[in-house]
Structure 1
Amino acid sequence: MFSRVLLAIDLNETEGARRAAKAALSLIAQSGGELHVVNVIPDSGMAIVGASIGQSLEDRILTEAKAALLDFANDQLPDLPAERMHVVQGTIYDRIIRTADEIEADTIVVGAHRPEFKDYLVGPNAARVVRHANQSVLVIR
């Protein structure tokens, strides 16, 4: 059932990412499936903001995000091949769903932060992934 699992992590929320990684590894151990991990760098929003940031800063942010994902994977996801680590940029929930579709994942594991009253139960990105994904979604608190 869990032949290809996409673990979506937020490297700014280290403890939640660790819990989600542990759950994803457990699913893979049970099924013998393949694990992929994605970290989404939010886009800069309005074009004027992106233009003021500049391409060199965007490139540096992407390079640093890839290095941070590699460090996380080396620590939490031993033996994960580099081609299964994905750093993408855009709207968080949309890029998680698109990455899952691109790699033909059958399951998405996503962490959820402690909700504020306005996003009761799960965070807004996790909730959107649950509502719109074509795959089964496991939300880890």
Structure 2
Amino acid sequence: MSGPVGRTVVGYTSTEAGRAAVTAAARLVSALGGELHLVLVLPDAGRGAVVPPDAGYEALLRSSADAWLAEAAALVPAGVPHASHVRRAESAAEGLLEVAHELGAARLVVGSGAERGLGRIGVGTAASELLHSADLPVVVVPVTAVEGDDDGVDGGGPALSRVTVAVGTRPGADVLLEEALALARASGAPLRLVSLQVLDLPGRLDRVAAADTADAHLRGVLEEARAAVGAAQVQDALLVRGRDVADAVGGLGWLPGEVVVVGSSRLAAPHRLFLGATAARLLRAVPVPVVVVPRTRPQGGRP
């Protein structure tokens, strides 16, 4: 996995979700450095087609793509280096991954569907495919992440206000923690450690034992974080309990420009993402961008 400073690829669609993704991606580049790459994926109609695509339609589609990318570029604040790309692929996820690999990107950013009645983040097709196949961190951005945020990159406030990392009670969170620490270190943002404990186990003794386990684990993670970046950068460490993930997360406060970092499931193939049940529920419960990190690193440190 590459470090936080590097290229950030964002998938753009001319929708509310696409605009939110570009705004959040620009914030990350402003905070971390590197370059922003705006990518619009068009369907690869020519591959395997029985009838060659109409030349007039293709010209119109390309013209529209250029106009959409101009819309995206207009959302990027001055001072954030960026480039635009049109990619042909059979799916948006495939095209975005191809560009990310060619550029050696540090992360991929995508917008989410706005299923507000069902939660904060409604994961669309492209995001879902990336969250079950990507080999680099994927940032999923809800529309709510930029609503009412008048203190953006150009507003004088910090581009990245805080990094929250959701740590579990099982061992093996070193890659997750290192990614969160790297983001905090590169941006100067404070780090908040959160351990979610869902108290839906049968019997009071089971709940008490689970809470004690989470407490002990969180203390160990906190000590590791403080040793790595210094106590001053670790702003808080919280054990949050609830009937379910949404209930537990509901008590947390969120800042404009904050991100939350979660890990991939242990069911994932080596160096790949696979969103587990807890992470999926958390993804739908928070109003800020979620950074999903592969649980293992490829050989040689490539994303």
Which residue identity lines up with residue 9 of structure 1 in the other structure?
A: Y
Measure, in 2, the Cα distance between the counterparts of 1:112 and 1:43.
23
User: In 2, are the aligned partners of 1:7 and 1:20 still within 8 Å (CA)?
Assistant: yes
User: In 1, are the aligned partners of 2:10 and 2:38 still within 8 Å (CA)?
Assistant: yes
Measure, in 2, the Cα distance between the counterparts of 1:4 and 1:127.
22
Which residue identity lines up with residue 92 of structure 2 in the other structure?
A: I
- Where is the helix percentage greater, Structure 1 or Structure 2? 1
User: In 1, are the aligned partners of 2:34 and 2:81 still within 8 Å (CA)?
Assistant: no
Aligned to 2:6: 3
Aligned to 1:68: 68
Note the C-alpha offset of 1:78: 4.0
Other structure's SS at 2:104 match: coil
Measure, in 2, the Cα distance between the counterparts of 1:59 and 1:22.
29
Higher relative contact order (CA 8 A, sep 6+): 1
Cα distance 1:71–1:18, how it changes in 2: closer, same or farther (>3 A)? Answer: closer
Cα distance 1:54–1:113, how it changes in 2: closer, same or farther (>3 A)? Answer: same
Counterparts of 1:1-141 in structure 2, within 5 Å, are 1-11=4-14, 13=15, 15-44=16-45, 47-48=49-50, 51=52, 53-73=53-73, 75-79=74-78, 84-90=83-89, 91-114=91-114, 121-141=122-142
Other structure's SS at 1:135 match: coil
- With structure 2 as the length reference, what TM-score do the two structures score? 0.40
Which residue identity lines up with residue 128 of structure 2 in the other structure?
A: A
**Larger Cα Rg: Structure 1 or Structure 2?**
2
Q: Which moved further from structure 2: 120-129 or 89-98?
A: 120-129
Other structure's SS at 1:10 match: coil
* C-alpha RMSD of the superposition: 2.4
User: In 2, are the aligned partners of 1:40 and 1:89 still within 8 Å (CA)?
Assistant: yes
- Structure 2: runs of 5 or more not aligned: 143-303
**Could you report, residue by residue, the CA deviation over 1:11-56 in whole angstroms, capped at 9, with x for unpaired residues?**
2x1x2122111211111111112111101112338613x52x4133
Other structure's SS at 2:86 match: strand
**Could you report, residue by residue, the CA deviation over 1:56-100 in whole angstroms, capped at 9, with x for unpaired residues?**
321321122112212331x20145667x20011222110011011
Measure, in 2, the Cα distance between the counterparts of 1:56 and 1:39.
20
- With structure 1 as the length reference, what TM-score do the two structures score? 0.80
Other structure's SS at 2:114 match: coil
| Identical amino acids, percent of aligned pairs | 29
Which residue identity lines up with residue 134 of structure 1 in the other structure?
A: D
Which residue identity lines up with residue 95 of structure 1 in the other structure?
A: G
Aligned to 2:264: none
Aligned residues: 132
User: In 2, are the aligned partners of 1:110 and 1:140 still within 8 Å (CA)?
Assistant: yes
User: In 2, are the aligned partners of 1:114 and 1:123 still within 8 Å (CA)?
Assistant: no
- Structure 1: runs of 5 or more not aligned: none
